[in-house]
Structure 1
Amino acid sequence: MADMPARLAEIVDEFAAAPRDLVLEMLLEYADVIPPLPADAAGHEGMEQVPECQTAFFLRARVTPEGTVETLFDCPPEAPTTRAFAGILAEGLAGASAEEVLAVPDDLYQRMGLAQAISPLRVRGGTAILGRLKRQVREQLD
């Protein structure tokens, strides 16, 4: 199995090494990384809702013919922590292969030290986002 994408591994290492009092601030910097939805996803067309998130969160993963994964996320600005999870995945998985996406550890947010900085409910939502993303990739490979 492939390793986690290099950029995502860098992000995980940055968070894991950061002083605990800076982790939340670092996390929120990723809230603005998510690009706006393209026209073909207006109204969340073809996107899956993640009900484990406390806010309305939608995602779509598409495996391209080249074998890379394109991600699409939508989350309201009023949910900066959840947007930040998506921002980390958007940046960390950009250009990643399907195998690299599937190799992302399920306890990603715990490895980043986020479990000490944010509520368990938010960590659960972030973990659900990753789980659904990986499931969509797996389904397209089968």
Structure 2
Amino acid sequence: MSAVSDTPLPAPLAEIADDFRSASNDLKLQLLLEFSDELPALPERYAGRLDQFERVDECQSPLFLTVEVDDGASLEQREVHLFFDAPAEAPTTRGFAGILHEGLDGLSAAQVLAVPDDAPMRFGLAEAVSPLRLRGMVAMLGRIKRQVRAKTAT
């Protein structure tokens, strides 16, 4: 794998990355389960509306996501909101979604777009989960950024 970039992560994501990096492998898996449990349920307006979501095929379990971007005069003023749907029986996938939700939801579009593509590699999870699973988190981040770009294009 290529070297991890030194582009800084937004503060909420950096804090989560620090927690994971300082944890033992067993604790990393426990933290992942906590993020899985804390992933917010979909709001009523999205109930039964997975057709409005994008499937992340790289994930080993079915994961769907969508992004909303508030109005604003600039990317710095446009807040991003993330929504994920993943089955309860897929705790690793839900955990990755939970990390991204906790670390990115509510940030500005500019902040989300500035997140380096290799951010998922900064959590020290490669020792705790398979590379295939980590690829799913990288794919989630890529789709989030692509949707933000699409929804902020003028």
Give the TM-score taking structure 1 as reference length: 0.92
Pick the aligned partner of 2:62 from 56, 70, 82: 56
Shift of 1:41: 1.3
**Farther-moved stretch of structure 1 (97-106 vs 79-88):** 97-106
Alpha-carbon deviations, 1:71-114, whole Å to 9, x = none?
00000001000000111111111320011111222122211001
Aligned 8 A contact 2:56 2:64 in 1: yes
Aligned 8 A contact 1:60 1:72 in 2: yes
For this pair of structures, how many residues does the alignment match? 141
> What amino acid sits opposite 2:60 in the alignment?
Q
1:21 alignment counterpart: 26
Structure 1: tracts of 5 or more residues without a match: none
CA distance in 2, matches of 1:31, 1:21: 15
Alpha-carbon deviations, 1:59-81, whole Å to 9, x = none?
00111114000100000001000
1:93-132 alignment to 2 at 5 Å?
93-132=104-143
1:91 alignment counterpart: 102
**Greater than 3 Å deviation, 4+ residue runs:** none
Shift of 1:56: 1.1
